[in-house]
Amino acid sequence: MVEIRAALGGPGQCRGRASFRDVRLEILATDPMSVGGISVDASVSGPPLDERVYSQFIEHLGRCIYGGIWAEMLEDRKFFFPVRPDYAPYGPGVEPTPANPYPILRTSPWEIISGGPNAVAMTTHGVVSGRHAVELAPGAAIRQRHLAVEAGRRYTGYVVASSAVRGARLTVSLEGAVGGLTGAAVAGDEPRRIPFEFTATGTVASAALALRADGAPVRVGAVSLMPADRVEGMRRDTVELLRRLRAPIYRWPGGNFVSGYDWRDGIGERDRRPTCANPAWTGIEPNDSGLHEFVHFCRLVGTEPMVTVDTGFGDAHSAAAELEYSNGDARTTWWGRKRADNGAREPFNIRYWCIGNEMWGTWQLGYMKPEHYFLKHNWVVGTMRQTHPSFIAIASGNAGPWSEGMLKACAAHMDWIAEHFYCGDLPGDMSHVRQIPERIRQKAEAHRAYRASIPGLRDRPIPVAMTEWNYWYGPHVFGELGTRYFLRDALGIAAGFHEYARQSDVIVSAFYAQTVNVIGAIKTSRTRAAMETTGLALELYRNRFLGSPLRTETGHLLEAQALRSSDGRRLVVSVVNPWREELRVPLRVAGARIKGPGRAWRLSGPAPTSFNDPDQDPVVSVAEVGAVELGELRLAALSATIIEFPCAAAAN
Ligand code: AHR
């Protein structure tokens, strides 16, 4: 095993070919690799690791919400794009294929399948949301393909339709999966909801939902189709996995998305909410999942909401209105009453509010010079505080001149400061794993330096919230930014939690970015959901790795960190072995009396590039691996192991 790391003129990554003409490798020893031991001194501990480091982030991007969490099966269900004879929803010649299963929608996904050239037209009558509805002449039909259904599963939906003429009839069918049709009379000029349901007779990867008019023209303003086993509009399979992550907080709705998002578009009757182009990414935003749905999601998953307000294109008054809408009393505040009108009498009581996203980045919608943004930040938080004084304001930071400037100019208007980082793909498993803890450490050290140098921060230090962190590389397998994760990424995420424990005096929360499909811990196909390798690491550490960090020393070939549980009765040792061979490592513990063998849990798989896929049996898994005695640890190749020893409570 040979690993060569070269510093090419400074920090950062570079790719290319290097020739080492003047380098000669000498064999110094041929002994088996010696990694040294792990020494834990339980008498030296730091502030407890905050459980909020196990928080998560979801964004309106790619297939995170739509196609991942939200159960709607149809794309463009409210006819944002005009339905036209030149059907090419994903661009000319592009179809979903096994190599590209989730292409991005560019024009209408509704295909005209019967009727003459003028039998299907867009109309401004019978509009439910947006600019137009689609009108089908008698005999005309449209359909949407690429819907995956499973034999025996029930699907329910509705069409919002109207007709100016008596005698109109609409037939809905699930082509390819159901023998029968569902038909209904469409009466009246006012759009009316016509429900339907199907039980699929076969498992079909590309069924189609078809709508056909007969008797008289029918206008269709909106359509919906969901599996009947959904939970409050969300995919049951995804929700079950999300619950397993037990994330304390979820951050929403972006990310870059938020800097062009008007939260008011996402409230009120769902069918009437406008569809728009996703302002920061690609595809469309149907606004079916807005603030209310996010709060329901949090209740369902058992987590606390964190909302990011738009400080890109948005303004202070919109941010304050969003806060009042969420937390205002329904009897005494204008926006609180609006919330009640929309079905939620009780305030949402959202505590955590991010003030903008990555406002330091020139790609951010509404980017402005730092000195201008610092004024905007204070204006936004000041206006929000006038509306509702008590909330946790998280400023948008980026270690370096931006965070330093924010802390100098805005510390009085923030409770936490956000940091983000993403790591790429590095050759060498250990280097790949190590970059995550290294980036966390760099962020924490930068903030420690600000605390020491910026007047006022010594007395009122501003904690760091790592509101986005992850690996981000590789092809988009699960839609936009739907990168796959491998076992070696999971080992890096595990090592990241070691570092959060070491930096617990500075970092109080972290939000793995993101949760579903988009650089996500959970991946979904059209019918299945599965925990990614990194999701398994999040789940394992959330359940087993909490407590106060203890002084832990290892050689540089291992990643290890010990904790003492809050009741003092368990000593937890976590070790990441990124090497492709089993290691035997002595473990020494001082300052604690271990009372017996430990229980151990191990995340592992066959190869650094092993991965899990929703449509295949899992390859990477977590298992309890039996009793472990203090002394020599046997660490499986490519594994993250957490061992929990019973110990006598610390005397203090
Ligand atoms: O998580 C994906 C994107 O990465 C987010 O939208 C943005 O905040 C960051 O640059």
Mean pLDDT of 9-30: 64
What per-residue confidence (pLDDT) applies to 13? 55
Q: How far is the centre of ligand 1, averaged over its atoms, from the C-alpha of 604 (Å)?
A: 29
Mean pLDDT of 404-412: 98
Contact criterion met (CB below 8 Å) for 301 and 292: no
- Residue bearing the CA closest to ligand 1, atom 9: 255
Q: Which atom of ligand 1 is nearest to the CA of 519?
A: 1
Q: Which atom of ligand 1 is nearest to the CA of 61?
A: 6
Query: What stretches of 514-547 adopt beta strand conformation (E)?
Result: 522-524, 529-531
Q: Give CATH 3.20.20.80 domain extents, the chain.
A: 51-68+233-546
- Residue bearing the CA closest to ligand 1, atom 7: 255
Q: How far is the centre of ligand 1, averaged over its atoms, from the C-alpha of 310 (Å)?
A: 14
Contact criterion met (CB below 8 Å) for 279 and 365: yes
> What's the CA gap between 46 and 551, in Å, rounded?
8
Q: How far is the centre of ligand 1, averaged over its atoms, from the C-alpha of 279 (Å)?
A: 13
Contact criterion met (CB below 8 Å) for 241 and 178: no
12 has pLDDT over 70:
no
Q: Which atom of ligand 1 is nearest to the CA of 59?
A: 6
Return the best residue to mutate from 61, 278, 358, 511 for the ligand 1 pocket (most ligand atoms within 8 A of CB): 358
- Residue bearing the CA closest to ligand 1, atom 6: 255
66 has pLDDT over 50:
yes
* Residue 577 pLDDT level (bands cut at 50, 70, 90): very high
Render pLDDT for 159-216 as a digit per residue (tens, 0 to 9). Answer: 999 999 999 999 999 988 776 667 777 778 899 999 999 999 989 999 999 999 999 9
Q: Which CATH architecture has domain 110-227?
A: Sandwich (2.60)
Between 183 and 555, residue with greater pLDDT: 555
Name the region of 487 (left: φ>0; alpha: ψ -120 to 50; beta: rest). alpha
Q: How far is the centre of ligand 1, averaged over its atoms, from the C-alpha of 615 (Å)?
A: 27
Return the best residue to mutate from 261, 357, 421 for the ligand 1 pocket (most ligand atoms within 8 A of CB): 357
What per-residue confidence (pLDDT) applies to 7? 47
> What's the CA gap between 558 and 580, in Å, rounded?
12
Render pLDDT for 261-300 as a digit per residue (tens, 0 to 9). Answer: 999 999 999 999 999 999 999 999 999 999 999 999 999 9
152 has pLDDT over 80:
yes
Q: Give CATH 2.60.40.1180 domain extents, the chain.
A: 1-48+555-652
What per-residue confidence (pLDDT) applies to 29? 64
Q: What is the helix (H) or strand (E) element at residue 589, kind and residue range?
A: strand 583-590
11 has pLDDT over 70:
no
Radius of gyration of the chain (CA): 27
> What's the CA gap between 194 and 211, in Å, rounded?
12
Return the best residue to mutate from 359, 402, 420, 518 for the ligand 1 pocket (most ligand atoms within 8 A of CB): 420
Q: How far is the centre of ligand 1, averaged over its atoms, from the C-alpha of 65 (Å)?
A: 15
What per-residue confidence (pLDDT) applies to 10? 43
What per-residue confidence (pLDDT) applies to 9? 45
Mean pLDDT of the chain: 94
Mean pLDDT of 326-346: 98
The CATH homologous superfamily to which domain 51-68+233-546 belongs is Glycosidases (3.20.20.80)
> What's the CA gap between 290 and 599, in Å, rounded?
43
Global pTM?
A: 0.94
Return the best residue to mutate from 60, 64, 252, 256 for the ligand 1 pocket (most ligand atoms within 8 A of CB): 256
558 has pLDDT over 70:
yes
What per-residue confidence (pLDDT) applies to 2? 54
- Residue bearing the CA closest to ligand 1, atom 8: 255
623 has pLDDT over 70:
yes
Pocket of ligand 1 (CB under 6 A): 59, 254-256, 357-358, 468, 513-514, 519
489 has pLDDT over 60:
yes
Mean pLDDT of 613-631: 95
Task: Report which of 157, 161, 222 is spatially closest to residue 190, judged by C-alpha positions.
Answer: 161
Query: What percent of the chain shows pLDDT beyond 90?
Result: 89
Contact criterion met (CB below 8 Å) for 64 and 514: yes
Q: Give CATH 2.60.120.260 domain extents, the chain.
A: 110-227
Return the best residue to mutate from 59, 64, 281, 363 for the ligand 1 pocket (most ligand atoms within 8 A of CB): 59
* Phi, psi dihedral angles at 516 (to 5 degrees): -120, 125
Query: What percent of the chain shows pLDDT beyond 70?
Result: 95
Render pLDDT for 218-229 as a digit per residue (tens, 0 to 9). Answer: 999 999 999 999
* Residue 20 pLDDT level (bands cut at 50, 70, 90): low
Q: How far is the centre of ligand 1, averaged over its atoms, from the C-alpha of 380 (Å)?
A: 22
455 has pLDDT over 60:
yes
The CATH homologous superfamily to which domain 1-48+555-652 belongs is Golgi alpha-mannosidase II (2.60.40.1180)
